[in-house]
Amino acid sequence: MDANNLNVIVGEGTCGIAAGSKEVIEAFRKYAPEINIRTVGCVGMCHQEVITEIHDNNGNRYIYGQVTKKTVPQIIKFHKGEGEPLEEHLIYSPEKQDSHKWQYLGHQTRIALRNVGYLDPTSISDYQKRDGYKAIKKIVAEMSPDQVIEEIKISSIRGRGGAGFPTHVKWNFARKSEGDVKYLICNGDEGDPGAFMDRSLLEGDPHNIIEGMMIAAYAIGAARGYAYIRAEYPLAVKNFGKAIKDAHELGVLGENIQGSSFSFDIKIKEGAGAFVCGEETALIASIEGDRGMPRFKPPFPAVKGLFGKPTIINNVETLANLPWIINNGGAAYAAYGTEDSKGTKVFALAGAIKKGGLVEVPMGTKIRDVLEDIGGGPSSGKPFKAVQLGGPSGGCIPESLFDTTIEYAAINATGAIMGSGGMIVMDGSTCMVDLAKYFLSFTQLESCGKCTFCRIGTLRMRELLTKICDGEAEMSDLDALDELTEQITKASLCGLGQTAPNPVATTLKYFRSEYEAHIKDRRCPAGVCKSLITHTIIPADCIGCSLCQIQCPVGAITGEKKVKGSYTIIQAKCINCGMCFEVCNSKAIQVK
Amino acid sequence: MSQALEAKVEPEVVLEWIKKIGSDSSSTVPLLQAVQSQYGYLPRAAMDLIVQNTDITGRQVYGVATFYSQFRLKPVGRHIIKICHGTACHVSGADRLNTSLRHMLNIADEEQDTAENGSYTIEQVACIGCCSQAPVMVISDEVSGNLTGAAAQRALKKHAKKSEEIVANL
């Protein structure tokens, strides 16, 4: 086989890079300098990174997962007609189209993510080949703004950033607002820890987001747009910036688009690390150059927004669906999903799950189906305990409720929220009190400080949770948590404060016995809370390798090298950091 | 130590940014971002230059600089290690990365985040969107995932060798 005709495609989203894609590309260049290499965004199978796709000169397609620089020579050898295929890494091949690994994508319905991982995000022609900029061409030639809004109304899409407000209603407000200057903002400030679909879309399919922004802008009558992107996503900022430039050069974006009277231009504003800027009015304040603090609504941004002008803010994932909806019709989108939740939703799977990554499924799918059929079940072999949905504004859904269907109302009924779609899966090794404390520390840090209940209330909650984790709490502290939950929810101005107690409320509701174990028995059942656990070495299992002693940051371990069972932990010095547990290869460290 | 890391601010550089980025109040964040990308933090002299040469007030510059977590008011080391503390990283052991790297860099004082020799600064950051590879960290601009405390140490060791930095507890 002639290697000159081999096309190699390497997944190079941030997750691909984290798994070592740069080294893999280097290896391909070293062992087969003659082949063509192209990079694409993350297809969503993050657990298989680094993903490498090979197209040979017979038009066959092979996809390999978990590629490292060491597996590269073998892959090249096989495609040059020598040696055997690398079966354990092969996800897809002409002979292996139904492999269980491939089922990860097979179970999904990809609309927002339809292009990610299939095109080179830095190539505008790649996007055009996949129907790119067809939707905007269609609407400027054939549709009035009202017709566009009507089509979106038929699709019934609701904002995918978290709150789930019907998109066409929001657009209608802005369309009807007075004024010749209007703005369209793409909210790419994905602050929810645990959600990364916006990053993947901005990085892996930026033209799709640009086209989505153009459709929204056309509908509301905006000539200027801003893309507010987190500074923590440098690759997204880079790829999106290049996409704007290329779209300009090709005349798809800018003055008099497609020869019409519609003009639209986009500017990138990098965020500066403030979770509250995901809130609309705070985001606007941030673009205006101020501290990102929310203000009272009304007036809503659709009436009085950026620089005092009517403004619409749409989330990245919402925008990603728009070109597809225009090309295929609103009814085609609404055909997916349930009565109150139409279409598909992207989820970011992470934590104690076998196949972490991005998953797009029709609304109405059961949580269990996402975690088991697509996610492949728990990674540790221990059973699932809970899934955290909706980040700091969301809540924990226990395993007993995994048959809940994914739709706005059903998820809300559990006490969690759909949110932006982060799903952090947990098994027995996560302490729910520690998790609640983690989220409260997060919201407390991220509170803008404007409302007392949010600023001080979340601090008091965190103090109470710290007390519980330290084994110093009383049962009455749980009542105090309930009371604070109610007050903060009622008295905060914006969504951050109103939802901040949610992680506490849901863990208290579903995992109360864990709170009680901390308070009554001074015990952390998951073995996480440092004040309540001890690390000891089981002499019978200790092989005397000294790894734990080397790793211990506080010199709390003594023993004699090569003498089995000689190592012990000096409890007075031990800080329970868990380093010894992590490095011990013979499972001799006991955490209790 | 911090004395040695203090940056020398050249006024013409800052004035050039103002010319390029703008001098109205909506330029506040991008201007500070430009300053920080140059010096690694926001030197007081640079912030004063912005106030003197734009329509942006001192209240606004300092208000913004202290509000957003990205901005630093203290000098930093030559390289920055960002340890992700998103939810997935938290439940997968981000704390252990922190403990092991602080140990390696001999940063014992909890208030400190920079190694004594000015080589590395450890920073806790909110989610960097790489949750399925948790726990994750970034040294300079290199992301690595699926780490243990020991693997994080190996990555730091490799980086230190490449950039000829001395690490205390190697």
In this predicted model, what pLDDT tens digit does every residue of B117-165 receive, in sequence order? 999 999 999 999 999 999 999 999 899 999 999 999 999 999 999 999 9
Alpha carbon B86 to chain centroid distance?
Answer: 17
With an 8 Å Cβ cutoff, are A289 and B28 in contact?
yes
* A-to-B residue pairs, Cβ atoms closer than 8 angstroms: 183
With an 8 Å Cβ cutoff, are B131 and A289 in contact?
no
Say which amino acid occupies A238: K
Tokens matching residue A505: 């409320």
Contact of B103 with chain A, judged by CB distance below 8 Å, is answered with yes
Residue entry with tokens 């089509």: A151
Cβ contacts of A167 within 8 Å, gap of 6 or more:
A152, A157, A158, A159, A314, A318
Cβ contacts of A375 within 8 Å, gap of 6 or more:
A349, A353, A354, A355, A356, A359, A425
Tokens matching residue A116: 């990610």
E strands, A494-553, are 535-537
Burial bucket for residue A241 (CB in 10 Å: 0-12, 13-18, 19+): middle
Predicted pLDDT of residue B1: 46
- The C-alpha angle A277, A281, A287, rounded to 5 degrees, equals 65
From the list A14, A430, A579, which residue is nearest B100 (CB)? A579
Q: What gap in Å lies between CA A303 and CA A176, rounded to an integer? A: 9
* pLDDT tops 60 at residue A2: no
Q: A110: pLDDT confidence band, cut at 50, 70 and 90?
A: very high
Orientation of helix A167-176 relative to helix A206-220, angle to 10°: 50
With an 8 Å Cβ cutoff, are A350 and B88 in contact?
yes
> What CA–CA distances, in Å, run from B109 to A19, A553, B80, B114, B158?
32, 13, 18, 10, 25
Closest CA to A320 of A195, A424, A199, A172: A199
Stretch 76-95 of chain B: residues touching chain A, C-beta under 8 Å: 85-93, 95
Contact of B132 with chain A, judged by CB distance below 8 Å, is answered with yes
Q: Which of B37, B82, B104, B130 to mutate to test the interface with A (most CBs of A within 10 A)?
A: B130
Whole-number CA gyration radius for chain A? 26
* pLDDT tops 90 at residue A81: no
Predicted pLDDT of residue A225: 97
pLDDT in tens, A502-521: 999 999 999 999 999 999 99
Tokens matching residue A288: 């205006």
SS3 A171: helix
Predicted pLDDT of residue B2: 47
Residue A158, beta-bridge partner list: A166
For range B84-88, the mean pLDDT = 95
pLDDT in tens, A48-61: 999 999 988 888 88
Q: What gap in Å lies between CA A453 and CA A457, rounded to an integer? A: 5
Predicted pLDDT of residue B17: 96
For range A575-586, the mean pLDDT = 92
Q: Cβ distance A239 to A198 under 8 Å? A: no
For range A282-293, the mean pLDDT = 96
* pLDDT tops 80 at residue A543: yes
3-state secondary structure A463-485: HHHHHHHCCCCCCHHHHHHHHHH
The DSSP 8-state label assigned to residue A378 in this structure reads B
Q: What gap in Å lies between CA A253 and CA A207, rounded to an integer? A: 11
Q: Cβ distance B85 to A275 under 8 Å? A: no
* pLDDT tops 50 at residue B99: yes
Instruction: For chain A, give the mean pLDDT.
Output: 94
With an 8 Å Cβ cutoff, are B25 and A435 in contact?
no
* pLDDT tops 60 at residue A330: yes
Cβ contacts of B3 within 8 Å, gap of 6 or more:
none
Q: B4: pLDDT confidence band, cut at 50, 70 and 90?
A: low
| Phi-psi region at A390: left, alpha or beta (left = phi > 0; alpha = psi -120 to 50) | left
User: Nearest residue on chain A to B86, judged by CA atoms?
Assistant: A193
Q: A546: pLDDT confidence band, cut at 50, 70 and 90?
A: very high
Burial bucket for residue A284 (CB in 10 Å: 0-12, 13-18, 19+): buried
* pLDDT tops 90 at residue A106: no
pLDDT in tens, A381-410: 899 999 999 999 999 999 999 999 999 999
Predicted pLDDT of residue A4: 61
* pLDDT tops 80 at residue B5: no
Tokens matching residue B168: 């205390």
Cβ contacts of A569 within 8 Å, gap of 6 or more:
A535, A536, A537, A556, A557, A580
Cβ contacts of B46 within 8 Å, gap of 6 or more:
B9, B14, B35, B39
pLDDT in tens, A166-211: 999 999 999 999 988 999 999 999 989 999 999 999 999 999 999 9
Say which amino acid occupies A526: A
CB atoms within 10 A of CB A563: 12
pLDDT in tens, B26-41: 999 999 999 999 999 9
For range A296-305, the mean pLDDT = 95
Predicted pLDDT of residue A103: 78
For range A285-307, the mean pLDDT = 96
> What CA–CA distances, in Å, run from A112 to A116, A137, A204, A208, B128?
9, 19, 11, 9, 21
Global confidence as pTM: 0.94
CA distance A61 to chain B (A): 26
With an 8 Å Cβ cutoff, are B63 and A19 in contact?
no
With an 8 Å Cβ cutoff, are A582 and B126 in contact?
no
CA distance B146 to chain A (A): 8
Predicted pLDDT of residue A197: 96
* pLDDT tops 50 at residue A372: yes
Predicted pLDDT of residue A93: 87
Percent of chain A at pLDDT > 90 equals 89
Burial bucket for residue A165 (CB in 10 Å: 0-12, 13-18, 19+): exposed
A162-166, A215-219, B100-104, B125-129, range with greatest mean pLDDT = A215-219
Q: Which of B131, B137, B144 to mutate to test the interface with A (most CBs of A within 10 A)?
A: B131
Instruction: For chain B, give the mean pLDDT.
Output: 93
Closest CA to A395 of A377, A371, A411: A411
Predicted pLDDT of residue A575: 92
